Chain A
Amino acid sequence: MTERAADVLLRADRVTKLYLDGHVLALGDVSFSLHRAEYVAVMGPSGSGKSTLLNVLGALDRPTSGEVYFEGQALGAMPSLDRYRNRKLGFVFQSFQLLPVLTALENVQVPMLECVRSDAQRVARARALLDNVGLTRRARHLPKHLSMGERQRVAIARALANDPPLLLADEPTGNLDTFSARGIMRLFTDLRYQHGVSILMVTHDPQLAAEADRILQMRDGRLVEP
């Protein structure tokens, strides 16, 4: 990856997050950049601040101090963080977080309900995304009728619904067997190289981390040398 400033998609600048009136440090002075189409793995023991970092980068939580910049714009200055989450990034969770009453096809459409798109456009886009993740024949199935690996593929398709440039993944293979986990990683690789999507992935799996362009190691809320 080049280090040109124009390639920087997201930048954390001395991000600190304190809980319990400042008595618990979740993140301390975290600074790093993520480039376009870059895959960065975040590793560290439980409680080291990995998920908090994802929440702050994904604007689900505000930092106590410091700032996150996306395409050069501070999140704190954005008129709508909902719009940022809806259009600029996709979340992939360890436990998939699919809506149980909706089919795979409908789950993928959920983020699109916030956009000005016709019903037909939403369905067509959702079908295309399910095709991409190899679930064409499973579109009408409810999550409970899908395997774990298939559920995560649906979740990834949902994350890509509004064509975001960034995926934030929180241990996306944590609940999957080795075979399914490899399939998900191949999917991420395709997304990077074919669609230029950047990926920031929290993982405990050293093999998955080894495929990353860079590894951010966290301990006690701070970035440390790997």
Chain B
Amino acid sequence: MRLVQFTAKNVFRRPMRSALTVAGVAGGVAAVVALVGIAGSFERALTAVFERRGVDLLVSSAGGLQKTSSVLDESLCGQIAALPLARDVSPGLVDVYSFAEHDLFGVVARGVPPESFLIRDLEVLSGRRLAEGDVRCVMLGKTLAANLGKQPGDKLDVAAREEFEVVGVYESFSPLENGWLIMPLAELQRMMDRQGKVMVISVVARQPDEETILALRDEIAAMASNLEVLPARSFVGSMVEIRLARAMAWMTSALALFVGAISMLNTMLAAVHERTRELAVLRAVGWRKTSVLRLVLIEAVLLALGSAALGTLLGLGAVHLLSLFPTAGRLVVGDIGWDVIAQGFAVAVVLGVLGGLYPACRAARQVPTEGLRHD
């Protein structure tokens, strides 16, 4: 018999109580996996929208709290494109619209030049691509088209003030992008009253090596004093929306985790109390205080690991279910990273140690002679 086997037997001694504790902590872990996972996968998916197309740098105006408030002169594109180290450049503008009659809120509208390399790889499922000179035309991602019930040739009210023609339905490698609509840059500039302005400029370096990219970044940054030039990952990571989503996910999870921690503490205190005499026997047969402490802590950690496993499954299940809903599926990308699952396990183990520490200390400090008299 090993210590961990001994401990496991104690865990299964009160199966209902252990199961309820596991369920309590699992709720917190599921919240971490689902909420933090969704925030993380959204960030990864958005990063992939740029990185998969070889975007090395994103240029925006510095100092703004939100990247969407960035305003750059469109003419900057031409200047960057003229740099010898730059291979491809594409301006972009983003706005968010709602289609209340379809219960769709926060639909991303992306304005790019029809010839932009950023949309070149989109597979047209029906209709056609955007073309030079298109006016009041949009392409819809396949998820959005399905949610709106639109197909090429249909009319679409954008922002409840302008009617656009759906010219094509596309499929992207990115589930996120499948929920967007894409229109010519000039159209979105007009809609947003930002003629001649763009939000961000995507830049592909001539060579994808670090030296070239860094040199290109320095050259672009030197063009004007108000420019922020970042790799795609840093750009997305620094978006206030992403940071807020991440913070909100942790804050919401923290509440669930707090409940789990109290549940763990309560269970371990009860376990130590009902085993007062047994723990005293262990001390009587020569167990050190640290061994008794370890016994109780391992029990708490075993419960926590069970909670982590269950919570991870629940969290993954919840995310999968969400991604199946048409409206949520536009935002929820189901690929929860291993890092988030690891964080869920780490949080559970920390909860186990914290929830078990006080009861374990009480158990270890117990005077054996008093414990042996305990009923």
Which B residue's beta carbon lies closest to that of A87? B286
Q: Is A111 an interface residue (CB 8 A)?
A: yes
What residues of A have a CB within 8 angstroms of the CB of B291 in the complex?
113-114
CA distance A109 to B287 in the complex (A): 12
Known: A82-B286, A86-B285, A114-B286. A123 touches B277 (CB 8 A): no
The interface size of chain B toward A, counting residues with CB under 8 Å, comes to 22
B285 and A91 within 8 A (CB): yes
Binds B, one of A97-105, A127-135, A175-183: A97-105
- Digit string of A86-130 for contact with B (CB within 8 Å is 1, else 0)? 110011010001011110011001110110000100110000000
Contact status B287-A114, CB under 8 Å: yes
Residue contact A82 to B9, C-beta cutoff 8 Å = no
- Beta-carbon contact of A82 and B287 below 8 Å: yes
CB within 8 A of B284: which of A60, A80, A122? Answer: A60
**A114: contacting residue among B9, B288, B369, CB under 8 A:** B288
A192 at the interface (CB under 8 A from B): no
- Whether B286 pairs with A97 at a CB distance below 8 angstroms is no
**Which of these, A82, A113, A114, contacts B6 with CB under 8 Å?**
A113
Residues of A within 8 A of B284 (CB): 58, 60, 85, 91, 97
In the complex, how many angstroms separate the beta carbon of A106 from the nearest chain B beta carbon? 5
The interface residues of chain B lying within 8 Å CB-to-CB of A158 are 285
Given contacts A60-B368, A97-B277, A97-B372, contact A102 B285 (CB under 8 A): no
Taking CB as reference atom, which chain A residue is nearest B282?
A110
What is the 8 Å Cβ interface bit string for chain B, positions 259-291, against chain A (1 contact, 0 not)? Answer: 000000000000000000110011111111101
Q: Can you pick out 12 interface pairs between chain A and chain B where the beta carbons lie within 8 Å of each other?
A: A80-B288, A84-B286, A85-B283, A85-B286, A97-B277, A101-B10, A106-B1, A106-B6, A110-B6, A113-B3, A113-B287, A114-B291
Binding site for A on B (CB under 8 A): 1-3, 6, 9-10, 13, 277-278, 281-289, 291, 368-369, 372
Q: Which residues of A are at the interface with B, using a C-beta cutoff of 8 A?
A: 55, 58, 60-61, 80, 82-87, 90-91, 93, 97, 99-102, 105-106, 109-111, 113-114, 119, 122-123, 158-159, 161-162
